[in-house]
Amino acid sequence: MASSNEKQDQTGKSRNGEGKIKILYLIIVVLVIALAFMIFRSQKAVIERDESFAQGVQLKGELDKVMDDYNSIKLENQDLIGQMAGKDSLILANKAEIERLIARQADYNKIKKKLDLLRKITQEYVGRIDSLVTANKVLAEENTQIKQEVSRARQENTQLKTELDEKMSIASEFKAYDLSATTVRVRADGKEVPTDRSRRVTRINLSFTLSENKIVEPGLKTVYARISRPDGVVMALSSDDLYSFVVDGDTLQYTLKKDIDYRNQAQEIKMHWDRQIEDTHAMSGQYAVMLYMDGREIGRTGFTIRD
């Protein structure tokens, strides 16, 4: 009996040992499976993180490309930026939102849609800029053409004005017709006796017809006469400014002057010069006579006195 009981104990112990081994195996299997699952999940997380990072890098690169194109267009068209202020604000707002989504590693497709929208907006921006550039170019060409036409018109007007001024200047000029200069001796009774002898001449008479002119304003006019001796000296009462007048910016001495009331009609004018010093003889030779009015020469003649 003892022997039989011992056998039963040994059998029970054997079975218990086998059960423990099975449990141990089961635990090991579970741990291996759990460890494998954890490793799998860890690897998956790493892969997903790497993919997310790669996607983020890709999206950031696309965003940078879109913004580079946008900034290049802005730099090339600084003068048009003011007309695109609304689009600028929209583009910058979308850029900031996409950068936040990339930083948070948000859903790739969501970011992609936002990026596509931004790309569309920038393409519209570029298209609008191109339209403005084309429009400005057309306007610039039209403006250049208009300026050229205006310049041509101004040149034509200037030429016409110059021609008109010249015609008006010519038309407004006075002329002294039938200008004559004669020398005489004035007798004691006041009668004039013609003579060209130097020792006898006491007076120089000038006579002429002042032309008709309907253009100039009527009123008081002054005629100046310059009589030059054979030696070139102008016969004048004095060399100071009291006996001078201006022609083309030059101050000239005059021999005679006469104020007339001009009424736009032709007028007969007479002027004379009397010898200033008694018992002196006039210089013999050729004399020159020049008449001036309104700053212009209106006629000239001459005469000769003999010894």
Higher pLDDT, 88 or 279: 279
Give the fold, CATH level 3, of 176-305.
Answer: Immunoglobulin-like (2.60.40)
pLDDT value, residue 80: 55
State the average pLDDT over residues 192-206: 95
State the average pLDDT over residues 143-158: 83
Q: Are 244 and 254 in contact (CB under 8 A)?
A: yes
pLDDT tens digits for 226-265? 999 999 999 998 888 889 999 988 999 999 999 999 999 9
pLDDT value, residue 1: 47
pLDDT value, residue 31: 80
pLDDT value, residue 263: 92
Give the pLDDT band of residue 117 (cuts 50, 70, 90).
Answer: confident
Give the pLDDT band of residue 86 (cuts 50, 70, 90).
Answer: low
State the average pLDDT over residues 162-172: 54
State the average pLDDT over residues 13-38: 76
pTM (2 d.p.): 0.48
Where in the sequence of the chain do the CATH 2.60.40.2560 domains occur?
176-305
Give the pLDDT band of residue 156 (cuts 50, 70, 90).
Answer: confident
